[in-house]
């Protein structure tokens, strides 16, 4: 699952060794990648995410109504068209990539989004990116290359085009990194929760429009009760509850402590995929995962923010 931006305003009174909220989110997102892969056995990719995000948009819109606050029409339009449009393309890349590659590789590659964010804020002059951050970016790219190349030429029944899927997942991570950069201004202005709800609600409507024909063509006899539980898991827990828990939690902890739980997500996905989908990784890929996570960590080491002049 895609991961929100870090917080930079810790609560000094929070001294818990393990934060149950963040641990819950890491577990849900880690398992969620495997659930997506499992559900693609019975759903066409755009149908699955049209259904999942369409239902999520209803929950998001309900939360916006409960927590309503004045938002200008211009902000709503920008968040809907630009933010919602970018999330829509990112989500489509994610689900089609997961359909072509393994859950393990997909989970690791989507976790590189913070690396792309770091590159973008550096190139745009939004933040000062230190030499350590750049070193992390280079290391992360090296680890990703090991994961992708380590897959070899083997074609697995549940991963028919691993290389194409891996590259598409990297594109998905790049777009999510771009979304976090673009949405940062509005998160400061109207709050992260409202931005997430607006953009993901719009994305849900767009995805439903894109996936409604494949959704109607779905063989519903194959969608057994356990598959419906999987859809409910992705909709309620992975896309709605987890985002709320995350944003209620990160406001009182530090960036470094928050990042620790983000790094758990691909590891949880790899273990779950091995247990439930019987996926196996090559030794080169395992080494690549470790190197990538080290690079992502270094790329996220906090650096002083550069204040940009108001428009």
Residue 245 forms part of a structural domain: yes
Residue 196 forms part of a structural domain: yes
Instruction: Please identify which residue in the block is written with the tokens 């309900």.
Output: 62
Number of domains present in the structure of the chain: 1
Q: Residue 251 is part of which domain span? A: 32-299
Residue 305 forms part of a structural domain: no
Residue 36 forms part of a structural domain: yes
| Euclidean distance between CA atoms 22 and 251, whole angstroms | 12
| Euclidean distance between CA atoms 38 and 102, whole angstroms | 11
The alpha carbon of 90 is separated from its chain's Cα centroid by a whole number of angstroms, namely 9
| Euclidean distance between CA atoms 295 and 138, whole angstroms | 7
**In a structure prediction context, what are the per-residue pLDDT tens digits for the chain, which is 311 residues long?**
545 444 444 444 445 556 787 788 889 999 999 999 999 999 999 999 999 999 999 999 998 888 877 778 888 888 888 889 999 999 999 999 999 998 888 988 888 887 888 788 878 877 777 888 788 888 888 888 887 777 654 545 666 688 889 899 999 999 988 888 888 778 778 877 888 888 999 999 999 999 999 999 999 999 999 999 999 999 999 999 988 887 666 555 544 555 567 778 888 888 898 889 888 877 888 888 888 888 877 877 765 544 443 33
Residue 8 forms part of a structural domain: no
Residue 23 forms part of a structural domain: no
Please answer whether residues 266 and 107 qualify as being in contact, where contact means their C-beta atoms are separated by less than 8 angstroms: yes
| Euclidean distance between CA atoms 288 and 242, whole angstroms | 28
* Predicted pLDDT of residue 257: 57
Looking at the DSSP assignment, which residues form a beta bridge with residue 156?
A: 159
Residue 107 forms part of a structural domain: yes
Q: What residues contact 129, with CB distance under 8 A and at least 6 apart?
A: 118, 119, 121, 122, 303
| Residue 52: CB atoms within 10 Å | 27
Residue 4 forms part of a structural domain: no
Nearest alpha carbon to residue 289 among 268, 305, 266:
266
Please answer whether residues 55 and 174 qualify as being in contact, where contact means their C-beta atoms are separated by less than 8 angstroms: no
pTM (2 d.p.): 0.82
């Amino acid at each position: 699952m895609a991961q929100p931006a870090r917080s930079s305003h810790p609560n000094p009174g929070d001294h818990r060794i393990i934060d149950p909220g963040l641990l819950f989110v890491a577990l849900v997102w880690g398992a969620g990648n495997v659930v997506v892969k499992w559900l693609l056995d019975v759903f066409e990719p755009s149908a699955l995410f049209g259904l999942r995000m369409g239902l999520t948009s209803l929950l998001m819109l309900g939360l916006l109504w409960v927590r309503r606050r004045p938002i200008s029409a211009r902000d709503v339009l920008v968040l809907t068209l630009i933010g919602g449009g970018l999330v829509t393309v990112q989500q489509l890349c994610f689900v089609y990539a997961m359909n072509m590659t393994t859950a393990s590789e997909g989970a690791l590659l989507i976790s590189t989004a913070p690396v792309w964010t770091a590159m973008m804020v550096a190139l745009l002059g939004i933040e000062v990116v230190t030499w350590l951050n750049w070193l992390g970016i280079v290391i992360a790219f090296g680890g990703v290359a090991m994961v992708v190349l380590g897959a070899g030429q083997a074609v697995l029944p549940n991963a028919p085009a691993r290389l194409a899927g891996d590259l598409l997942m990297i594109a998905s991570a790049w777009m999510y990194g771009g979304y976090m950069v673009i949405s940062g201004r509005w998160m400061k202005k109207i709050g992260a929760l409202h931005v997430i709800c607006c953009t993901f609600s719009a994305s849900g409507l767009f995805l439903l429009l894109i996936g409604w024909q494949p959704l109607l063509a779905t063989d519903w006899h194959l969608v057994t009760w356990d598959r419906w539980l999987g859809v409910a898991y992705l909709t309620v827990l992975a896309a709605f509850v987890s985002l709320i828990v995350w944003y209620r939690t990160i406001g009182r902890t530090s960036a470094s402590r928050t990042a620790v739980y983000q790094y758990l997500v691909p590891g949880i996905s790899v273990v779950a995929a091995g247990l439930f989908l019987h996926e196996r990784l090559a030794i080169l890929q395992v080494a690549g995962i470790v190197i990538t996570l080290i690079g992502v960590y270094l790329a996220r080491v906090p650096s002083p923010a550069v204040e940009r002049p108001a428009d």
